[in-house]
A and B are shown apart, each in its own frame.
Chain A
Amino acid sequence: MRRPSLIAAALAAALGAVPAPARETLTIGITQYPSTLHPSIESMAAKSYVHGFALRPITVHDAEWKVVCRLCEQLPTLENGGAVPERAPNGSPGVAVTYRLREKAAWGDGTPITVEDILFAWEAGREPTTGIGPAELYRSLYRITVQDQRTVTLHFDKLTFEYNAINELRPLPAHLERSIWQADPRTYRNRTLYDRDPARPGLWSGPYRVVAAQAGASLTLERNPAWHGPEPPFRRIIIRTVENTAALEANLLAGQVDMIAGELGLPLDQALALERRAGNRFRFHYQPGLVYEHIDLNLDLPALADRRVREALLRAIDRDQIVQRLFDGRVPVAHSFVNPLDRMYDATLPRIPFDPEGAQRLLDEAGWRVGADGIRRNAAGERLSLELMTTAGNRSRELVQQVLQAMWRAVGVEIRIRNEPPRVFFGETVSRRRFQGMALFAWISAPENVPRTILHSSEIPSEARNWAGQNYTGFRHAEMDELLERLPVTLEAEARRPLWRRVQEIYATDIPVIPLFFRADAHIWPRWLDGVRPTGHLAPSSLWVEEWRVLP
């Protein structure tokens, strides 16, 4: 034995080094720790990931981006009679949707999951002082009719094509939480057992339940004996939080974590570099998703108000090359905000190609002529100089920004880079439309998400509206407004398709935004793990943990 090995053995013996975990334990590294474990209060990716193992929603979007039942027996539809249109008390068209919970569904302490748990979740959600985040579902769901202990009819005051997707209505264990909530709804979020005593078995309804929590550091989950579905593969799952991605990578290489969850893992460039160095030790999977990187153009600026200038800006950039060079071709180029994986994506729409000559021609037509210094000027002598902003410290975005600057400079457009910390950028500059030119950032959406808040003319933030709305470009298009209003209430998928096509067409030809690419999550798994299916949308892969398996 060589000296280092002797020293290592001696140290390990002296310090009680922990042996490598057996395959009955899976340790997952993520970069965020959930600030609360309550299913309805606040929303963050780390919490969704943990809940994927330990809680089952009634419905969810699956890996094929379809709404499916997880806690209900059959997805109610207008066709199978589970959903029935009706008139809401306010006179608007509504719908009554009936869900039947799975027979053996139970909380971790053996208490059956019943309509009581749905009723409690609804009552708590409707109460403004409970502090639930997005409350639209609770506002729209105006009445609940109990059929029996497992069957419930939900009455909504509007009828949209997503009428049966109640992904956000998470049953809460009424037998444990109701009395705590009733004592004082205003302070309930500070007293919920999900945060005060997360190891209480009755809080959890998934294949696993939380058995230990080290705030800010780790969560330990073990198989839930009351779970009604197929047995999940590991006796124990440990979720470790390592916020520094270099340290997270080191933890993976040192064997302290078995895998890095793509939902909250390494940035793409770091994962690609790691794959080059350690590709034989792990399996790498790059899942394109709904995070849409794009550039919002401030259409109030005279130069950008001209559609020809916007088209020229798009023609001047080689997005394929950006994606190839910076991301190894692992992220799909975006041609609109609709992801190619979305069923409403239209691949036949015209695409504006990389065409620097065409860009120059358009700028000439728009009255921007190349000056002596290579920068274009209009008849008044004003330089075509635009500000390009993004979030400071985001290495990928800053790289993209520099490449774009060079590409636009080549057609005579001067780009002034001015970046700000995310809080300032989002909290002030973008949300109050203070960017003087272009803002590079990402939108997170959901499958078939109608982009009303970002494209409808009524959603332009202004002081008069207290800066509400996300139409930061200031885009106004009467036909787009009408389409965005019709889309949610068009129930038939095939009837929506032409509307979606037209929305994408207007977006692609009017160019209020320069689409760049859809970000991809880098999932890094051990070679012995199989069956993990990332979705690409907000539902995490952990929701299907019972399908994961250990390869021999």
Chain B
Amino acid sequence: MLRLIGARLVQAALTVILLSFAAYALIELMPGDPIDVAIASDPRLSAADAERLRALYGLDRPLAERYLAWAASAALGEFGFSRLFAAPTSEVLGSALLNSTALLLPSTLASAAIGIGLGILAARRPRGSLDTMVNAVAFAGIAMPSFWLAILLIILFAVLLGWFPAGGPPLEPGPAAWLHHLALPWLTLTVLGLAAYARQTRAAMIEALGEPWIRTARAKGAPASRVLLHHAFPNAAIPVITVAALDFATLVSGALVVETVFAWPGMGKLLYDAILGNDYNLALLALLLAALVTLAANLAADILQIAIDPRLRR
């Protein structure tokens, strides 16, 4: 196990280094630079101004030189300043990360709990009425574009019924205001997220319930709930854990569409704006953080899977 963790950590470090350079180079390869973006919105910027600003921001230096300078600072824990948000990148990222966690953690947990529950129930009687219903919900969840569902919920609950705000973080302090403002984005993400859990759980459970040891357990008179939860579910949990690990990674990469529609300043929107605005420092830090968390979540999933299924240790 320790060897596995060690190997994965080395792999993660190499991935992060390669990814940082690839991200830097890809942002650089996009047509135009921050000054071109500025010129497009400010007709008063002259060619001389553009040249001066490029030199000031170091954009006139070669890519490799800039990347090495950034990497040297990053190695010392200095991730620089966000050009778009006029604040240190760590500060900008910290606040977005909090917002994304508040948005995504509860909805991820809710969609996992509901989705897994529905998947187990549906697997009890494949092609039964409950299974058909769960399948319909799962297909709808997968097929529905997130922006469409979000707008639909806004129209229903904010515009027509007026129960919840249409979006944005609350201006008033206190958990009640936050709950009120987060209700609709949570609902959107939960509905969209539970589909994957329900389908994965259902499929894995149906497969597990067909195994010989389940027949043995039933023959020995084990109650149905014990067969489902004690014997079948641990065997079906492995693909579900993979889905959960990927979902956990979205806590730092954000949910771009839902954040945009609900005007929620989270990581998805931040990363999108940083890349489009050529905010190298911010985009790189956000990408690296997302990569690190994805790698960590995958490692955690591997460890959990090995713990559940001792056969994987071989």
Contact = CB atoms under 8 A, between A and B. Distances in A.
A3 to B, nearest CB: 12
A40 B309 CA distance: 62
A406 interface: no
B159 A246 contact: no
A77 interface: no
B86 interface: yes
7 contacts: A4-B161, A15-B176, A131-B53, A215-B265, A250-B167, A428-B32, A445-B43
Interface string B159-171: 1011101111111
B21 interface: no
A544 to B, nearest CB: 22
Given A431-B36, A443-B43, A128 B265 contact: no
Interface in B57-104: 57, 81, 83-88, 92, 95-96
Nearest to B263: A242
B42 A18 contact: no
A424 interface: yes
Given A18-B180, A244-B263, A247-B262, A256 B168 contact: yes
3 nearest A-B residue pairs (beta carbon): A427-B32, A468-B47, A16-B176
A134 B46 contact: yes
B263 A240 contact: yes
Contacts of A215: 85, 87, 92, 95, 265
Interface stretch (A216-224, A341-349, A392-400, A475-483): A216-224
Given A43-B41, A133-B45, A218 B171 contact: yes
B36 A254 contact: no
Contact of A217 (B168, B174, B176): B168
Given A128-B56, A250-B166, A444 B43 contact: yes
Interface size class of B (residues with CB under 8 A): 35 or more
Interface in B144-161: 147, 150-151, 154-155, 158-159, 161
Interface residues of A, number: 67
Contacts of B40: 422, 426
Interface string A97-131: 00000000000000000000000000000001101
Interface of A: 4, 7-8, 11-12, 15-18, 35-38, 42-45, 128-129, 131, 133-136, 168, 186, 189-190, 192, 195-196, 212, 214-218, 220, 238, 240-244, 246-247, 250-251, 253-256, 422-424, 426-428, 431, 443-446, 465-466, 468-469
Contacts of A15: 176, 179-180, 183
Contacts of B87: 195-196, 215
B202 interface: no
A282 B38 CA distance: 34
Contacts of B276: 423
Given A16-B176, A256-B166, A8 B154 contact: no
B84 A35 contact: yes
A168 B44 contact: yes
Contact of A43 (B32, B42, B52): B42
B172 interface: yes
B105 interface: no
A135 B53 CA distance: 10
B263 A243 contact: yes
A431 B35 CA distance: 13
A41 to B, nearest CB: 8
Contact of B158 (A35, A250, A445): A250
Contact of A133 (B38, B147, B180, B260): B38
Contact of B162 (A42, A255, A444): A255
B199 interface: no
Interface in B212-243: none
Given A195-B87, A241-B263, A217 B169 contact: yes
Nearest to B269: A216
A429 to B, nearest CB: 8
A250 B47 contact: no
Given A214-B265, A445-B43, A238 B32 contact: no
B49 interface: yes
Contact of B154 (A186, A217, A238, A247): A247
B38 A42 contact: yes
A37 B87 CA distance: 12
Contact of A134 (B45, B84, B159): B45
Interface in B23-43: 30-33, 36-38, 40-43
Contacts of A422: 40
A183 B178 CA distance: 40
Contact of A247 (B161, B162, B166): B166
A244 B85 CA distance: 19
Contacts of B47: 465-466, 468-469
B22 interface: no
Interface string B190-211: 0000000000000000000000
Nearest to B56: A131
Interface string B116-134: 0000000000000000000
B162 A423 contact: no
A247 B51 CA distance: 38
B256 to A, nearest CB: 11
Contacts of A189: 86
Contacts of A43: 38, 41-42, 44-45
B187 interface: no
Most buried by A among B57, B85, B171: B171
